[in-house]
Amino acid sequence: MIHVLVTAKDGQLGQCFQSLVVKHPNIQFVFKSSSDLDITNKVKVEDVFSAHSFDYCINCAAYTAVDKAEEATELADKVNHLGAQNIAEACKKFEVILIHISTDFVFDGERTAPYLEDDITNPLGVYGKTKLAGEQVIAKTLQRYFIIRTSWLYSEYGHNFLKTMLRLANERDEIGVVGDQIGSPTYAMDLADATLQIIASRNTSYGIYHYSNEGVVSWYDFAKEIFSLSNSSIKLNKIETKDYPTPAVRPKYSIMNTEKISQILDSKIPNWKSSLAIAMVNCIKSES
């Protein structure tokens, strides 16, 4: 039996892990919410680790409010950097393998070719900077870790682009969505499944990995497909980033090369369109 701790169980990724428990009878999970386990509290983190005998910790906990982070700098750093440090130090002390979820926001989006894991990082805002600091402290503290950077995460759970578009389709007749930022939408259920494949196979190829669904789209294209699948009659307008200013600057190019993780998974990563169709069905089920 493999014993796994999952933080932030109430977040969209944490909920995806919970839904996959039945597929992994050889893994015993302990799920902790942010109130059960405040990763910014070093003593409480050690208490949780000392009370169990974990083989792995999947750290989904993060401050992900990208725009709010520009003002809540201290809080973002406390969670994304110092919280990651607390988790890493506990993993080292109790000999636990860490799987930490990170982000494409560690890059500046100035490339024109998919980002590799060892490409130079240059985050544009507080969120990306604090997530990168978390990555760096993990790499400094541990030898046995997986850092998985992902992008444009969505699911039938929590607050995300898919849920927002479906809500707006019911509230408005017309919206504008940015068409000059491109990336790869990632279904959180696919990411959770890939993570559990790494654990189930006891893979020891530690390091940094990129995971996103296959395919390249803009936010506009993503929204267009959501409205098409939901048979929405809302009018969708393509706008530019300058037409929708936000406190945080976002990377215009968020494509990441996923060949490295595909090799250790020994499986093809699903295309974003096929995964979106599945997520849409699950959204309908959850609302009915």
Question: Which sequence positions are flagged as catalytic?
Answer: 127
Beta-strand ranges (E) seen in 85-240 are 97-103, 145-150, 153-154, 174-178, 182-183, 186-187, 207-210, 217-218, 235-239
Q: How far apart are CA 60 and CA 84, in angstroms?
A: 10
Instruction: Report the chain's C-alpha Rg in angstroms.
Output: 19
**Distance between CA 154 and CA 124 in Å, rounded?**
22
Would you give the distance in Å from CA 105 to the centre of its chain?
A: 11
Whole-angstrom Cα distance, residue 157 to residue 246? 24
Amino acid identity at 102: S
CB-based contact 239:169 (threshold 8 Å): no
CA distance 100 to 260: 16
Q: Is 233 exposed, middle or buried, given 0-12, 13-18 or 19+ CB atoms closer than 10 A?
A: exposed
